[in-house]
Amino acid sequence: MVSHSGLLTVMERAVRKAGSKLRRDFGEVEQLQVSRKGPADFVSMADKKCEETLVEELQRARPDWGFLLEEGGVIEGDPNKPRWIIDPLDGTTNFLHGIPHFAISIAVEEPMYGGKKEITTGLVYQPVTDESYWAEKNRGAWRHDQRLRVSARRDMADCVIATGIPFMGHGDFAQWTRIFGAVAPSVAGLRRFGAASLDLAHVASGRYDGYWESGIQPWDIAAGILLVREAGGFVTDFRGGDQSIERKEVIAGNDAIHSKLHKLVAGALR
């Protein structure tokens, strides 16, 4: 049985406490769907309450660390210490519509020499399925106690690729359409499930063979990028450069599929 570090134990405790509240709130969504006001305000409150719980738990354990939060923005900490990057509810639209596919994502970003920063610990927790995906630098990627490996498929014709699709007010429709036109004819299927953190966790576990998306935020992908890399996969931006969380685009997969997907994406953008 693989052992957690003390840091991961802190993170696991925080997501499980917050996740239990999300499960309870998710149970209320179906009833709210038929109300005149609708569930939007309720979901927004659930999102904020989840984030508050996470911040409270993590601050208790590491009081001098800072935060980058989807809802709360930046909370400054000791600049020489790591900071937390948190999405308290990745897949808000799914949650809003009673679709049981959403997650809590937490990453630890550490300051390095020369002003660089690096994600060294990540956790993606799916409250509905109780699946906990986690990774630490140089310790591999795991789902609970099961070691994760990216898919071994090499032929795009056998692959299922995940993506995000632009929607009202979000994303570049023209760019996505060009990439879709290049990728779709080459693969066995495309999937859009609406939670980037889980897309990357599923690439790490071999459920998906690859993934691309643009218009994403650091809290969407910080933990998931580490999961894929620690599972033996590759993650870059659309131009093949080393993906930093500040870049709002990502391509992920095993070495062969990442390379082929990158060529298709890059070709579509010429």
Report the CATH number that the domain containing residue 234 is assigned in CATH: 3.40.190.80
Among 87, 119, 147, give the residue marking a domain's end. Answer: 147
36 pLDDT exceeds 50?
A: no
Are 61 and 178 in a shared domain?
no
Confidence of residue 256 (pLDDT cuts 50, 70, 90): very high
167 pLDDT exceeds 60?
A: yes
Residues 230 and 123: beta-carbon distance below 8 Å: no
Which of the pair, 104 or 114, is modelled with greater confidence?
A: 104
Q: Which two tokens stand for residue 74?
A: 């930046």
Among 119, 147, 175, give the residue marking a domain's end. Answer: 147
Q: Taking the model in full, what pTM does it have?
A: 0.93
Nearest CA to 52 out of 44, 28, 226, 4 is that of 44
Element (H, E) at 124: strand 117-126
